[in-house]
Amino acid sequence: MFCSKKKSLEVERIVKANDREHNEKFQYADNCIHTSKYNILTFLPINLFEQFQRVANAYFLFLLILQLIPEISSLTWFTTMVPLVLVITMTAVKDATDDYFRHKSDNQVNNRLSEVLIDSKLQNEKWMNVKVGDIVKLENNQFVAADLLLLSSSEPHGLCYIETAELDGETNLKVRHALSVTSELGADISRLAKFDGTVVCEAPNNKLDKFTGVLSWKDSKHSLNNEKIILRGCILRNTSWCFGMVIFAGPDTKLMQNSGKTKFKRTSIDRLMNTLVLWIFGFLVCMGIILAIGNSIWENQVGDQFRTFLFWNEGEKNSVFSGFLTFWSYIIILNTVVPISLYVSMEVIRLGHSYFINWDRKMYYPEKATPAEARTTTLNEELGQIEYIFSDKTGTLTENIMTFKKCSINGKIYGEADDDMGQKTDMTKKNKPVDFAVNPQADRTCQFSDHHLMESIKLGDSKVYEFLRVLALCHTVMSEENSAGQLIYQVQSPDEGALVTAARNLGFIFKSRTSETITIEELGTLVTYQLLAFLDFNNIRKRMSVIVRNPEGQIKLYSKGADTILFEKLHPSNEDLLTLTTDHLSEFAGEGLRTLAIAYRDLDDKYFKEWHKMLEDANALIDERDERVAGLYEEIERDLMLLGATAVEDKLQEGVIETVTNLSLANIKIWVLTGDKQETAINIGYACNMLTDDMNDVFIISGNTAVEVREELRKAKENLFEQNRSFSNGHVVFEKQQLELDSVVEETITGDYALIINGHSLTVYDQWFITLFNIVYTSLPVLAMGIFDQDVDDQNSMDYPQLYEPGQLNLLFNKRKFFICMAHGIYTSLALFFIPYGAFYNVAGDDGQHVADYQSFAVTMATSLVIVVSVQIALDTSYWTVINHVFIWGSVATYFSILFTMHSNGIFGIFPNQFPFVGNARHSLAQKCIWLVILLTTVASVMPVVAFRYLKVDICPALSDQIRRRQKAQKKAKPSRSRRPQTRRSSSRRSGYAFAHQEGYGELITSGKNMRAKNPPPTPGLEKTLYNSTSWIENLCKKTTDTVSSFSLDKTVKL
């Protein structure tokens, strides 16, 4: 349960392999992790400290202390103790439940097993027991237990493949490779057990892409970088086994360093409630001061006259001291104006909503059997207050599954043709796919429908051949054959996989590579090219090039990259072809395709040798190595000859358009984060319907510094204000929106304010009634409404996303609503007191006896209050369930049961001092006049609310009111829902593709370290799915407009 931590701040880490005794001197953290907030010893103090940060809880604790002082206590201590303990207990149970699941998750992770080299033997050890310096064995598809220095693997040169989705969300495989001196250790347990290298490296930090260190072994030192490290959270892929030395464990791993400490999170509702409670407390203090002053005046003018009869000692009680004591007495009496019960109601409602989230079948993902999971119940209501969504593009909005769709070769587009009307059409939709059956090594999942390209290949078009050669040679793809003899590609980027697969299907098949050669099959003939240099991709270059020597002895530079970069490197003779290809790229971008430019250059043998010698010298440098190499790359990648461009489709995920449209209609602003260039970003905006043709102006904000971006935003804002003061289009919104709370809050506050009307020396309500009112009589109806109530059904919630806006705009619960509730509570309190008071004034009961005694008056008021609150909740309930009925009417029945019990002979016999008023309830409620007073009080309290709401719905209905009216009309008429015919729409989209993937593995390829010695287990190829887009946006927008204006029954579209 308890995990060790570092006791001193590290400057650097020194780790010796296979020497636990040596490493323990540094008191490094072990591999036990904990994301929980509490343990058995710390739960009570920490949780209580957090709970008493709430103003209401702290206030009631202070109040409880006051009630222990006899001179000022007008209520017994249990009236405060019982609700406070209940609130604290229920919140603590909820927090403990949340933390229990964190402990459960931690224990599951900590008890995973890994093979650890101990005493020259591999032993299964729990992750929590793995220590710094241990040597761990990983097998294929296993999670990495700690941050490891890779020592050796089953692949040549200590190479291994890892998936880092848990760290950065990327599913593409990444390569790590061991030092040559340690890769020789292989799987020899005896040699690994004798390995005693010492690593001196950086202290624990959260930088996932950086590692610096030095391995000292056998009287030599070897520098270490991030390529030698496998981080915790990664998964070993396509590698049978590997061995690694633990450098960082548990909380010191980079994954946990990025996790941060579990914090006590407070929602907007909690912060607002704390503010409101402070206001309420201020109001309470003011009332106490006013009443204390009144008491002092009364004591000074009238109270002295009672001294003769009460035998007070002289000086024992003066008017000022009496007012001081009365102030604290009223603070205690009026304590129920502070809504402590509201906090526990909110906690229970949050817990109930979290279960609804977990049980929601519409949020269940059947493909991976994954349900929705609310990991914390603290922030549920924040889901109704979202203003901004930040989303990645690749793999989130898109499937990250690339398909080769079109290309432009030597000024001609392949992938489209003219139809009968002379208009260009998409070949993939008009013609049958090309039959690749003649190519036994073709990928059957890849489809291409333009037969003209196949004809050009058959005619021997040299430009087409050269174009396909570039696709087959210029990449970092690794090839292998599975047990069935099928060619399998391991790709760093899905874009590369799509292009190499396209060349493969068209007859230029990438077969294999070594550190010095690339072998491809050109139309059935094996051709081996000598690999002379690999000019790798990075985010600055945005291009990749290879320099090869063909069998004829010619040296060729083949390059592919972003068109904006590559076009600057072209020879001036390409001007005409450049213009034509640029037009083609614009067409491709308009269709939402990701584009790459393709070019080549013939190199002179002498020139290349001189350039290669300079490259070798630059690589040998220690200082400014990268700058010198980049300059040499720039020098040789010039005067290129343009071949054409490729167009690859990255399909949108299923449901993206519908989701983005609904979010936009709900006034949620969406930011898409992408490394693509501006044109691609704009295209994605149009493709996802974030940008539409209805938008009058789209502002492009571009800047290299925060100051520049802020300045451009300011100018855009000024421009927008000048054009449209109303922000009706909604491309840019600069208002701060706030929060949402269920209408239950209003009613809870209303009930709390209507609790108590006090006299001078004792409360009108019985003390047990005060204690039980919020706990028993009114708690369950409030919870039932908060958990189960629906203003509109789920289908209408999806059909009308504008229903989300009240939560953003803080319309359901705010300071104005608070003051309205406060006024409502004051009015209800006055009605509850003065109507019975006036009715009982000098009035006799049915039996001729006076009914204006203290207990009869208290029973009448208490009964009226319980009925008023229950009726109020019933009026506010829109969606009735059996539970609502049981809780509301059951609470009323419970009140009467407890009332008659407390006034019975039996309870008096057991507790005579606590329940002295025997038979009062039975006597009072047996009289007709009492029930008439209760009825009159209830009607007077409820009717203003009913009248106001009726007029509001009739004169100025909200969107939810109009939809509820439609729902009721539909239930009565039960019409059949009809679908509108769907029509397609076009969009003026523009696009480009910036070749945005991570830096490649050119150095590994040329070193030969990633060449496999044997075939690994088969892996599936690129998965292709067809995305069928349907045009339904106009119907949705039209329907929404119609709904707001008329809400006629025939204008519905089901999403």
- The pLDDT of residue 679 is 66
- Closest C-alpha among 762, 812, 760 to residue 789: 812
Residue 115 has a CB neighbour count (10 Å cut-off) of 19
SS3 content of the chain, % helix, strand, coil (to 5): 45, 15, 35
Backbone angles phi, psi at 679, to 5 degrees: -60, -40
Q: How many CB atoms lie within 10 A of CB 33?
A: 24
The residue from 168, 188, 392, 626 that is catalytic is: 392
Work out the number of other CB atoms within 10 angstroms of the CB of residue 827.
17
CB 403 within 8 A of CB 651: yes
pLDDT computed for residue 761 by the predictor: 52
Integer Cα distance of 603 and 611 in angstroms? 11
What is the model's pTM?
Answer: 0.67
Selection from 17, 44, 46 nearest residue 191 by Cα: 17
Helices H, strands E: what count in the chain?
37, 28
Quick one: tokens of 588? 């491709």
What's the token pair of residue 389?
């969504």
Return the pLDDT at 588: 86
Q: Please give the backbone phi and psi of residue 458, each rounded to the nearest 5 degrees, phi first.
A: -65, -35
Q: Which amino acid is at 88?
A: I
677: left (phi over 0), alpha (psi -120 to 50) or beta: beta
CA torsion sign for 104, 106, 107, 111 is positive
Q: What is the pLDDT, as a whole number, of residue 146?
A: 94
State CA 369 to chain mean position distance: 20
Q: Which pair of structure tokens corresponds to residue 733? A: 């919104």
Tokens 């789920």 sit at which residue? 794
Starting at the earlier edge strand, list the strands of the sheet with 135-139.
121-126, 113-118, 135-139, 241-248, 147-153, 229-230
The token pair that represents 784 in the structure block: 């039932």
Give the pLDDT score at 13. 93
Rounded to the nearest 10 degrees, the angle between the axes of helix 744-753 and helix 854-876 is 170
Written as six digits, the tokens of 778 are 């009114």
| Residue 954: active-site member | no
Q: Other CB atoms closer than 10 Å to residue 137's CB: what's the count? A: 19
Whether residue 516 contacts residue 531, with contact meaning beta carbons closer than 8 Å, is answered with yes
Q: What sign has the CA pseudo-torsion 204, 205, 211, 212?
A: negative
- Which parts of the chain sit beneath pLDDT 50? 1-2, 4-6, 418-422, 426-430, 726-745, 747-760, 977-997, 1014-1055
